[in-house]
Amino acid sequence: MQKQRMNVEYAVDWLKILVQTHSSQLMALGSEDLLNKFGPCIGLIEHRVNCLKELSKVAGRLDLLINQIKRNNNEDNLNSANVLVYEDNDSSDSEIEDTGEKSASDDEWDEDIEEDVENMDQDDEDNDESDADDAEEMET
C-alpha cells in the first residue's frame, strides 16, 4: 500500500509540472479535447478528494470520541481519589462522644438558646400590647 501511495505522489507531481510547463499548448487544444484527454485523471482526482473529505470527517469524529473517553477517565480518577485527608490527633472530642457527657460550653450554649427564646416571646408580647395601644389611639 505504501508503494502505491508513493506512485500516486510521483504521478501527481509529474502531472502538475506537465500542466505548468505546457499550459499554453493545452489551452490551444480547446476545452473539449482537453476534457477528453484529461477526463480520466480529473475523475480520479475528484474521487480521491471526495474520499478524503469523508475520511477527514471520520477522523475528526474519532478524535472527539477518544478525547471524551480520556476526559471521562481523568474525571473518574479525580473523583475516586481523596484530595485531602485530615486526621485529628486531639482525643478530647472522641472522649466526649464516647462518654456521652456534655461539656461546659454545651451547657452554656443551651442556656443562651433558652434565653433567646424567652426574649423573643417577651418581645412578641410587648409588640402585641403596643399594637393594641396604637389601635385605641386611632379610634379616639
Within 13 A of 52's CA, how many CA atoms are on the CB side?
6
Looking at the structure, tell me whether residues 75 and 127 fall in a common domain: no
Looking at the structure, tell me whether residues 76 and 107 fall in a common domain: no
**pTM higher than 0.85 for the full model?**
no
User: 1 pLDDT band (50/70/90 cuts)?
Assistant: very low
Which residue segment(s) compose the domain that 134 sits in?
Answer: 103-139
The structural domain count of the chain equals: 2
Output the furthest CA–CA distance in the chain (Å, rounded): 118
Looking at the structure, tell me whether residues 76 and 110 fall in a common domain: no
Q: Does a structural domain hold residue 86?
A: no
Reduced 3-state DSSP string for the chain: CHHHHHHHHHHHHHHHHHHHHCHHHHHHHCHHHHHHHHHHHHHHHHHHHHHHHHHHHHHHHHHHHHHHHHHHHHHHHHHHCCCCCCCCCCCHHHHHHHHCCCCHHHHHHHHHHHHHHHHHHHHHHHHHHHHHHHHHHHHC
Q: Does a structural domain hold residue 90?
A: no
pLDDT tens digit sequence for 81-126? 666 667 777 655 555 555 555 555 666 767 777 788 787 777 766 6
- Quote the percentage of the chain above a pLDDT of 90: 13
Q: Does a structural domain hold residue 57?
A: yes
Looking at the structure, tell me whether residues 72 and 39 fall in a common domain: yes
pLDDT tens digit sequence for 29-47? 888 888 888 888 888 888 8
Q: Does a structural domain hold residue 129?
A: yes
